[in-house]
Amino acid sequence: MGYRILEGVRILDLTMVFAGPMSSRILADLGAEVIKIESAVRPDVMTRTNVYPENKLGEEPWNRGFTYHTINAGKKGITLNLGSEEGRKLFRRLVEISDAVMENFSPRVMENWGLGYEELRRIKPDIIMVSMSGLGHYGPLRDFYMYMPGMEGMSGLAHLTGFPQDPPLLSGHAYGDWVLGAAGAAALLIALYHRQRTGRGQYVDVAGREAVICQIGELVMDCFLNNREPSRVGNYHSSVAPHGCYRCKGSDEWINIAIENDEQWRNLCQVMDNPEWTRDERFTNAVSRWENRGELDGKVEEWTQRYNHYELMRILQDVGVPSGAVLSMKELHLDPHISQRGFFEVIDHGKGIGKRPIAKQMPAKFSDVEEFVPRRAPRFGQDNEEVFCNLLGMSKEELERLEEANVIGGTFTFVRGKPTRIDLIEKQGSCSVDPDYLSELSKHYGDDIGSM
């Protein structure tokens, strides 16, 4: 009882923005000690200046951006300028007492600092170094500038997403970044297991685009086996119907129904009260249903529009029909099953933010392992003293000297960030706004949500 899966594992985390921090948060969720390294010159600016509580910048806005708080929970935070010789010297000392280094700079950065893998392993022979990038650390296109759209677009995933008549579609949630981060965490753990058995460290090169291709491997096989180009099929399945997303009664409410076999089809018919059209020969067997799937969808949707999505999901699941409401961000937070299993954990994010639920980045549950709520994401340079004085044995005077020399901490000019243009998004109709979100969350997660 009371142990953590990655207890005792120390990771130096140089990653920024999305993919890398999501990756190291997976490891922090599993109990690793993750030391996030920023500097006044290179702060993790994008996520720090996004999504402010109640859309107000407040004091120290760079410490309040909630995207940062979500994907950096459970980590320690230090500021160390690797652009300075003294900063790199301190980094080397940290490498000596760490198990792994993670980074997602563009391929030349670590080498230029003299902190490439060959150099790191001279400092600590069994170090594991994980580099996460869009297209990988070698090859003719390795220096491409790219983010999530490059990983999803250049892998074939965007080409395969959308309705046939529509343009290729990117995810609405930086999916490519998640895939790269998850692949990085998996590879790091595999290397760590190997090191523990053999004493050997290694260098891990993770390309986001390649990891996304692995997620669509089955479809890519069609190119090799049949020289065929798979295409966008909307919500259709390749052999069964009805299989789609159907409109429900409420505004922008949808339900997915995915019939797999005749038995489920019969159960669906029964719930629909066996309307006349279900006996039409176009719909009586699996093959004809699939052939006439467009028309079938129209018939099914006439029926689904009489119900709310949650109500209909319960009716259908009660008779064993695979179906599920299409949940919005609000509905996901308030979903009874999600909250029953503790997927969102309430953390006190401190002054200026207060208590708010954040989602787990590694939701698997381990029996007999301590369930712990991660501590809030670190304020800028919060753990300098702990790491430099307690771990490296530096004196407080020395720390102060290095702060004055801008090696640690230092003065910085953050982009102040801007409030989210909710007005504009609302005008575009591209979101719904719930003004009562704090009280809605309080009903599920405790009545002091958001109080600072």
Partner 1 sequence: MNEQALSGVQVLDCTRGIAGSYCTKLLADFGAEVIKVEDPNGGDPLRNMEPFLKDEPHSEKSGAFFYLNTNKKSITLNLRSETGVKIFKELVKDADVLVESFPPETMRELSLDYEILSALNPQLIMTSISGFGQTGQYRNYKASNLVLSGLGGTMYTSRPANEPKKRPVVQGGFQGEHIAGLESLIATVAALFNRIHTNRGTWIDVSSMECVASTLTGYTGEYSNLGLSRKTSPLPIQGYPGLCNYRCKDGWINPTPGLGAASNIAFLIEKPEMQDDPLLANTAARITAPEKVDALLLPWCMKHDKWTITKKAQELRLCFTPILSPKELIEDEQLKARDFFNTVGHPFMGEVTYPGALAKLSDTPPVAGKEPRLGENNHEIYEKLGYVSEDLVKLQETGVI
Q: Does 429 bind partner 1 (CB under 8 A)?
A: yes
Please choose, from the candidates 306, 303, 277, 305, the residue with its C-alpha nearest in 3D space to the C-alpha of residue 292.
Answer: 277
* Cβ nearer to partner 1, comparing 393 with 429: 429
Helix extents (H) in 33-160: 45-48, 66-71, 85-96, 109-112, 117-123, 148-153, 157-160
Strands 33-38 and 76-79 come out as parallel
- Does 307 bind partner 1 (CB under 8 A)? Our answer is no
Query: With contacts defined by CB under 8 A, how many residues of the chain interact with partner 1?
Result: 176
CB of 61 to partner 1, least distance (A): 13
| Cα angle 84, 87, 88; round to 5 | 90
Q: Interface residues for partner 1 in 310-339 (CB under 8 A)?
A: 317, 320-333, 335-338
Does 248 engage in binding with partner 1 (CB under 8 A)?
A: no
Of 90-98, 108-116, 136-144, 277-285, the segment contacting partner 1 by CB under 8 A is 136-144
Stretch that binds partner 1, among 84-92, 214-222, 374-382, 385-393 (CB under 8 A): 214-222
Place of tokens 């800028």: 380
Binding residues for partner 1 restricted to 384-423, rule: CB under 8 A: 418, 420-422
Site string for partner 1, 160-199 (x = CB under 8 A): xxxx--xxxxxxxxxx-xxx--xxxxxx-xxxxxx-xxx-
Q: Which is nearer to partner 1, 84 or 155 (CB)?
A: 155
| Other Cβ atoms closer than 10 A to 351 | 13
221 contributes a contact to partner 1 by CB under 8 A? yes
By beta-carbon proximity to partner 1, the closer residue of 57 and 389 is: 57
In the complex with partner 1, the residue whose CB is nearer, 90 or 189, is 189
Q: Which of residues 83-102 bind partner 1 (CB under 8 A)?
A: none
Q: Binding of partner 1 at residue 6 (CB under 8 A)? A: yes
Which residue blocks in 229-363 are alpha helix, DSSP H?
Answer: 262-271, 286-291, 293-304, 309-318, 329-334, 336-340
Q: Residue 171 CB, nearest distance to partner 1 (Å)?
A: 6
- Say how far apart CA 31 and CA 387 lie, in whole Å: 18
Distance CA 373, CA 363 (A): 12
269, 286, 359, 373: which one binds partner 1 (CB under 8 A): 359
Nearer to partner 1 (CB atom), residue 405 or residue 431 = 431
- The reply on whether position 356 binds partner 1 by CB under 8 A is yes
Alpha-carbon separation of residue 30 from 16, 18, 166, 314 (angstroms): 20, 19, 41, 34
Among 12, 100, 213, 241, binds partner 1 (CB under 8 A): 213
Kindly state the tokens that stand for 429.
Answer: 């109709």
Is the sign of the CA dihedral 255, 261, 264, 269 positive or negative? positive
Structure token digits, residue 352 = 């200026």
The one among 86, 111, 119, 260 contacting partner 1 by CB under 8 A: 260
255 binds partner 1, rule: CB under 8 A: yes
